[in-house]
Amino acid sequence: MLSTDLNVEIREVFLLPGIGVVADAVVKNGVLSRGARVQVQSTGEIAVVASLEKEYQPIVSATAGDQVGVRLDFPYTVCNEAFLPTERNFRHLIQVPDTLHHIEDTLKILASL
């Protein structure tokens, strides 16, 4: 199950050899499920939630308020380096694919009022 109001804040990102991209994250809104297709807001990349862990235990889904470990697979991307943290320590957000543009447009409209 993947809710369309999904909003997950990525706190820290690790690229682990042999495992892939793992993120320490907090679900802000909605439900994040293993196997879900998601979009990284800062890069626009589509990823698949390969696994989820809460308190070092595998889980099937996470809801608002849960702090989780998320392993992301990027099947449509050759390189995941753009997702890694930079010196600026950007906070990445994960959302449902194809809702990102609507959210950005809404923010632009509100900012111009």
Question: Given the structure tokens 């449902």, which residue do they identify?
Answer: 96
What whole-number distance in Å separates Cα of residue 45 and Cα of residue 62? 21
Quick check: helix, strand or coil at residue 107? Answer: helix
Q: Can you tell me the distance from the alpha carbon of 111 to that of 48, in angstroms, rounded to the nearest whole number?
A: 32
Distances (CA, A) of 112 to 56, 99, 108, 109: 44, 21, 6, 5
By residue count, the chain amounts to 113
Question: 34-86: per-residue pLDDT in tens?
Answer: 998 888 877 777 888 999 999 999 999 999 999 999 998 877 654 445 555 44
Q: What is the dihedral of CA 49, 86, 16, 24, to 10 degrees?
A: -50
Q: Where residue 4 falls among pLDDT bands split at 50, 70, 90?
A: low
**What's the pLDDT score for residue 100?**
44
Q: Structure pTM?
A: 0.69
Q: What angle do CA 17, 21, 26 make, to 5 degrees?
A: 140
- Taking domain 7-111, whether its CATH number is 2.40.30.10 is answered by yes
Structure tokens at 37: 């297709």
For the chain, the structural domain boundaries read 7-111
